[in-house]
């Protein structure tokens, strides 16, 4: 079993090296085992990892950190650039965070910052060991609690490819992308229980040119969330469940919030509380959210398969004012499957800023409940409905 695994890993590594060599010329590997890392699942390897990062980053060519199979305990590490060439991290092993949340001094566990041309790959796993943290009493809102770290965080990273990486049981968000540009994620596997609080799968803010594909996300909060400053994001072939769906927002707490250009395509949602969601607070801040396409999406027993809500209020009571955030150009095409609630389509826009150009095309959602067929609910929506429509459209 072990040798089979090691063999598989060696093959993956060899093909990766061949690939990388072909594409980029020589890559120099820096093996953490040569920097006194100990793969016993208990020794803190933070210093060894930082030392090896520094060497790879300062290599005047294409350097890559190599973490072979094995179990490595590691505390918060910040992999910081700028580097002298392109830089990679090949994670073949299992990285384990300390279970005790008070051991973290920063808001992230594995943090990449200010790096151009980064590759993270290798098929390894980041285990956030979040179980103890989830038991704390609503810790993200309580200053007497330790700050719970995001498992994997990218700040100001450009031209990056994150491929074949797993994140288990994060204490807080699994992955955060902030201030990044041209970053691709493929074959990402994210898993935490449905009842783990605040464990968003991938959270994106102030970034553009982000692509996420061929990935599986099951967690206790949003599978993917896109916050203010996000522009030009493509998401395809993502499986989401359990979780709270793929969300734009929440927006509208601050003046100037904006998200522009999101395409969600070929995705499956299973047993999630929400499917494709746009949410703004009922708060009089100016902002915009526009140019979204949700296309070719299968819903399997989803709570709110299609929901656009400008009165978002997860913890009532909220100030019931009206949103001044303008939503426009939202298209839903070919969305089918089953709703686990009677209202399958909700388009609740702002009375002060009605949604503009919302299009429903070929919607086929069913319901197995006893209280009649599925329905749609609209307020202050301007747009059109074409093709097959179940529930009957309210636009």
Ligand X SMILES: *[C@@H]1O[C@H](CO)[C@@H](O)[C@H](O)[C@H]1NC(C)=O
Task: For residue 184, state whether it binds ligand X (rule: CB under 6 A).
Answer: yes
Task: Give the shortest CB-341-to-ligand X separation in angstroms.
Answer: 27
Spatial separation of the C-alpha atoms in residues 148 and 255, rounded to whole Å: 27
Residues 6+ apart with CB under 8 A from 151: 97, 108, 109, 110, 126, 128, 167, 170, 171, 172, 173, 174, 175
Task: Give the shortest CB-161-to-ligand X separation in angstroms.
Answer: 4
State which of residues 34, 43, 102, 131 lies at the interface with ligand X (CB under 6 A).
34
Helix (H, G, I), strand (E, B) or coil at 394: coil
String of contacts with ligand X for each residue 189-228, x by CB under 6 A = --------------------x-x-----------------
Task: Give the shortest CB-368-to-ligand X separation in angstroms.
Answer: 27
Beta-bridge partner residues of 226: 204, 248
State which of residues 301, 329, 331, 390 lies at the interface with ligand X (CB under 6 A).
329
Q: Which residue's CB is nearer to ligand X, number 61 or number 369?
A: 61
Q: Which of 25, 108, 38 is nearest to 64 (CA)?
A: 25
Residues 6+ apart with CB under 8 A from 143: none
Which range binds ligand X by CB under 6 A, 46-54, 104-112, 149-157, 232-240? 232-240
Q: Is residue 187 flagged as an active site residue?
A: no
Element (DSSP H or E) covering residue 47: helix 46-58
Task: For residue 136, state whether it binds ligand X (rule: CB under 6 A).
Answer: yes
Spatial separation of the C-alpha atoms in residues 382 and 354, rounded to whole Å: 7
- 3-state helix, strand, coil split of the chain in percent (to 5) is 15, 55, 35
State which of residues 6, 10, 12, 31 lies at the interface with ligand X (CB under 6 A).
31
CA gyration radius for the chain? 22
Spatial separation of the C-alpha atoms in residues 127 and 217, rounded to whole Å: 15
Q: Which residue's CB is nearer to ligand X, number 107 or number 296?
A: 296
Spatial separation of the C-alpha atoms in residues 68 and 75, rounded to whole Å: 18
Q: Which residue's CB is nearer to ligand X, number 86 or number 389?
A: 86
Task: For residue 84, state whether it binds ligand X (rule: CB under 6 A).
Answer: no
- The tokens of 360 are what? 């429903």
Residue with the closest Cβ to ligand X? 25
Which range binds ligand X by CB under 6 A, 108-116, 170-178, 233-241, 338-346? 233-241
Residues 6+ apart with CB under 8 A from 370: none
**Residues 346-365 interacting with ligand X (rule: CB under 6 A):** 354, 357
Q: Which residue's CB is nearer to ligand X, number 143 or number 195?
A: 143
Task: Give the shortest CB-250-to-ligand X separation in angstroms.
Answer: 20
Q: Which residue's CB is nearer to ligand X, number 49 or number 367?
A: 49
Spatial separation of the C-alpha atoms in residues 392 and 376, rounded to whole Å: 7
Interface positions with ligand X (CB under 6 A): 24-26, 31, 33-34, 61-62, 85-86, 117, 136-138, 142, 144-145, 159-161, 182, 184, 209, 211, 232, 234, 236-237, 263, 265-266, 290-291, 296, 328-329, 354, 357, 382
């Amino acid at each position: 079993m072990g040798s089979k695994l090691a063999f598989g890993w060696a093959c993956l590594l060899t093909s990766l090296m061949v690939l990388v060599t072909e594409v980029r010329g020589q890559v120099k590997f820096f093996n953490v085992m040569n920097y006194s890392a100990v793969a016993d699942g208990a020794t803190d390897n933070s210093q060894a990892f930082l030392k090896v990062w520094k060497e790879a980053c300062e290599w005047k060519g294409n350097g890559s950190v190599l973490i072979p199979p094995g179990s490595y305990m590691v505390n918060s590490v910040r992999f910081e650039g700028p580097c002298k060439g392109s830089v990679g991290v090949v994670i073949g092993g299992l990285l384990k965070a300390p279970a005790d949340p008070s051991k973290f001094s920063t808001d992230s566990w594995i943090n990449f910052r200010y790096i151009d041309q980064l590759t993270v790959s290798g098929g390894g796993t980041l285990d956030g060991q979040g179980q103890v943290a989830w038991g704390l009493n609503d810790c993200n809102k309580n200053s007497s609690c330790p700050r719970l770290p995001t498992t994997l965080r990218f700040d100001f990273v450009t031209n990056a490819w994150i491929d074949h990486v797993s994140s288990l049981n994060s204490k807080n968000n699994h992955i955060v992308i902030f201030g990044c540009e041209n970053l691709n994620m493929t074959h990402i596997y994210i898993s935490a229980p449905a009842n783990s609080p605040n464990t968003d799968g991938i959270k994106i803010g102030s970034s553009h040119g982000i692509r996420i594909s061929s990935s599986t996300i099951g967690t206790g909060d949003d599978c993917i969330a896109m916050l203010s400053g996000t522009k030009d994001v493509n998401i395809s072939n993502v499986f989401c469940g359990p979780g709270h769906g793929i969300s734009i927002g929440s927006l509208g707490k601050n003046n100037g919030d904006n998200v522009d250009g999101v395409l969600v395509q070929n995705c499956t949602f299973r047993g999630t509380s929400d499917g494709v969601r746009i949410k703004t607070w009922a708060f009089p801040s100016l902002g915009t959210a526009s140019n979204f396409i949700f296309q070719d999406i299968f819903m399997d027993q989803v709570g709110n398969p299609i929901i656009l809500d400008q009165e978002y209020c997860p913890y009532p009571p909220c100030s019931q004012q009206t949103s001044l955030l303008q939503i426009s150009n939202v298209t839903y095409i070919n969305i089918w499957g089953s709703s686990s609630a009677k209202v399958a389509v909700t388009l609740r826009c702002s009375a002060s800023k009605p949604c503009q150009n919302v299009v429903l095309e070929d919607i086929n959602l069913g319901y197995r409940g006893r209280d009649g067929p599925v329905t749609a609910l609209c307020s202050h929506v301007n747009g059109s409905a074409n093709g097959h429509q179940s529930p009957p459209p309210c636009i």
